[in-house]
Amino acid sequence: MSSVHEWIDANRDRAVEELIEFLRIPSISTDPERSDDMRRCADWLARRLGGAGFTRTEVIPTGGHPVVWGEWMGAPGKPTILLYGHYDVQPVDPLELWETPPFEPSVRDGNLFARGSSDDKGQIFMHVMALESYLRQTGRLPVNVRILFEGEEEIGSEHLTPFIRKQRERLAADVAVVSDTAMFAKGIPSLTYGLRGLCYMQVEVTGPRRDLHSGSYGGASRNPLLALATILSGLQDRDGRVTIPGFYDSVRPLLDEERREFASLNFDEDGLRKEMGVEELWGESGYTVLERMWARPTLDVHGLWGGFQGAGAKTVIPSHCGAKVSMRLVPDQDSAAIGKLFTEHARRLCPPGIQLQVSDVHGANAVIVPLDHPAIRAASRAIEKAFGRAPVKIREGGSIPVVGTFKELLGMPTVLAGVGLPDDAAHAPNEKFHLENFHGGIHMAAYLYEELAGM
């Protein structure tokens, strides 16, 4: 075992160099022009797994971007782990705000800056290094390992659910392991036990059949942009509560014990406010900010289009406009059911004579991982060994759609052992990964496989 950790230390620089190679591939899943890069990235990963000693690897096509699959099943009698990660990354705009180009990784002050460095290529690569350390130093792994790296997480994992249904046997395992979350704060190792779900909708509004001169026709037609504004403003009240009837019906209330546990984390609200660059924190009244971000559902508008966006003025009543809206969900809300409630409410809010089209973009259900599961306790020990202190138990406001699918389709819990930091700027310009966490994360992954062998 110690030789494994010595190997990890001895290969520290090589790990960073290879991660840089991985990060150079612009695997932006949402961009149709990058589909060749997506394929190249999947091939790179599969090849790299082969280099680590995985004899069975495959790049498997789906209806969308390919899945990278692999397995090492040489530990009969030991548990089987399903390691999941995503090799796709978010778009890079606004490009001009990056200090160094997003796909030319650069190390500054102990951080590696590049798109995907923290979310999630750096965290995938920790596991690849940890697996390689065992295979090279001992010729085997402490547990059986199956690998599922997908290329569509950032766009809702649309083709992954049918893939999992079809490949049930090749993915069968006792527990899933995912490193795609962040620590509570720098220097505070964390174990995440909850993720929010998501219901992402698109709203489109059409009025007159073509754009109209607002002088000639103003007074004769409803304005689609105002109709859209009416709909959007009817989704939330002034106290930050979502006003869709039935929205809260299946929300699992926060227990007093959970509220006490959240409070005991002494979350730095003012630090968050400064990091965000806002005058005040705002959200549903009656809850602390941690409660609102981790355990309460929310609604946000992500984009609006329609009408005149250029410089100066143009007097027009636009024919068509739209918006992207999503709701973060908590247990036990069902994403599909919430989508229906949203659509019905938007219809009620839509003024007469305006055509409304509401479509479902993607969705995922929230998850809570049972903290008393042996795999979670094993992860807690592994984190402590790697980072020198027991992890705090946290929830996360973001979503990882497949985690709910693992539970629903494969009946499997997921260990969420991520080592990102809250200020890694995931999805934003100048995304970075703290190299100390990368290195500690490789040790953590190695301890984790050993701890899971004895669970």
Closest distance to ligand BES from the beta carbon of 364 (Å): 5
Task: Kindly tell me which of 152 and 180 has the beta carbon lying closer to Zn ion.
Answer: 180
Which phi and psi (to 5°) does residue 417 adopt? -115, 85
401 contact, one of Zn ion, ligand BES, none, CB 5-8 Å limit per kind: ligand BES
Task: Kindly tell me which of 30 and 55 has the beta carbon lying closer to ligand BES.
Answer: 30
Summarize the chain as % helix, strand, coil (round to 5).
40, 25, 40
Question: What single-letter amino acid sits at 420?
Answer: G
Stretch that binds Zn ion, among 134-142, 175-183, 348-356, 402-410 (CB under 5 A): 175-183
For the window 114-143, what string marks contact with ligand BES as x by the rule CB under 6 A?
A: -----xx-----------------------
Specify the 3-state DSSP secondary structure of 247. coil
451 lies in the site for ligand BES, by CB under 6 A: no
Task: Kindly tell me which of 157 and 288 has the beta carbon lying closer to Zn ion.
Answer: 157
Catalytic residue among 119, 150, 152, 153: 153
444 lies in the site for ligand BES, by CB under 6 A: no
Q: Is 284 a catalytic residue?
A: no
424 lies in the site for Zn ion, by CB under 5 A: no
Contact 410, 80 (CB under 8 A): no
Task: Kindly identify the residues of this chain, within the stretch 102-131, that bind Zn ion according to CB under 5 A.
Answer: 119-120
Locate 23 and state its tokens: 């990060």
- CA dihedral 350→356→362→365, nearest 10 degrees, is 30
Query: Can you spell out the DSSP letters for 95-140?
Result: GGG-SS-TTS-EEETTEEESTTTTTTHHHHHHHHHHHHHHHHHHSS
Catalytic residue among 88, 291, 424, 431: 88
Closest distance to Zn ion from the beta carbon of 73 (Å): 27
431 lies in the site for Zn ion, by CB under 5 A: no
Pairing of strands 190-195, 144-150: unpaired
Q: Facing residues of 198 across strands?
A: 328, 364
Q: Cα–Cα distance between 315 and 34 in angstroms, integer?
A: 38
Instruction: Find the residue with minimal CB distance to ligand BES.
Output: 398
151 lies in the site for ligand BES, by CB under 6 A: no
182 lies in the site for ligand BES, by CB under 6 A: yes
Q: Is 152 a catalytic residue?
A: no
Closest alpha carbon to 174 in 136, 144, 219, 205: 144
Task: Kindly tell me which of 180 and 424 has the beta carbon lying closer to Zn ion.
Answer: 180
Task: Kindly tell me which of 416 and 455 has the beta carbon lying closer to Zn ion.
Answer: 416
What is the side-by-side strand order in the sheet with 320-329?
A: 298-306, 320-329, 197-206, 355-364
Closest distance to ligand BES from the beta carbon of 182 (Å): 5
Stretch that binds ligand BES, among 74-82, 127-135, 177-185, 286-294 (CB under 6 A): 177-185
Task: Kindly tell me which of 225 and 338 has the beta carbon lying closer to ligand BES.
Answer: 338
Question: What single-letter amino acid sits at 281?
Answer: L
180 lies in the site for Zn ion, by CB under 5 A: yes
Listed in sequence order, the residues at least 6 apart from 118 whose beta carbon sits closer than 8 Å to its beta carbon are 182, 420, 421, 424, 426, 431, 432, 433
Closest distance to Zn ion from the beta carbon of 64 (Å): 17
80 lies in the site for ligand BES, by CB under 6 A: no
199 lies in the site for ligand BES, by CB under 6 A: no
Listed in sequence order, the residues at least 6 apart from 273 whose beta carbon sits closer than 8 Å to its beta carbon are 279, 280, 281
Residues in contact with Zn ion by CB under 5 A are: 119-120, 180
Residues in contact with ligand BES by CB under 6 A are: 119-120, 153-154, 156, 180-182, 198, 362, 364, 396, 398-401
Active site residues: 88, 153
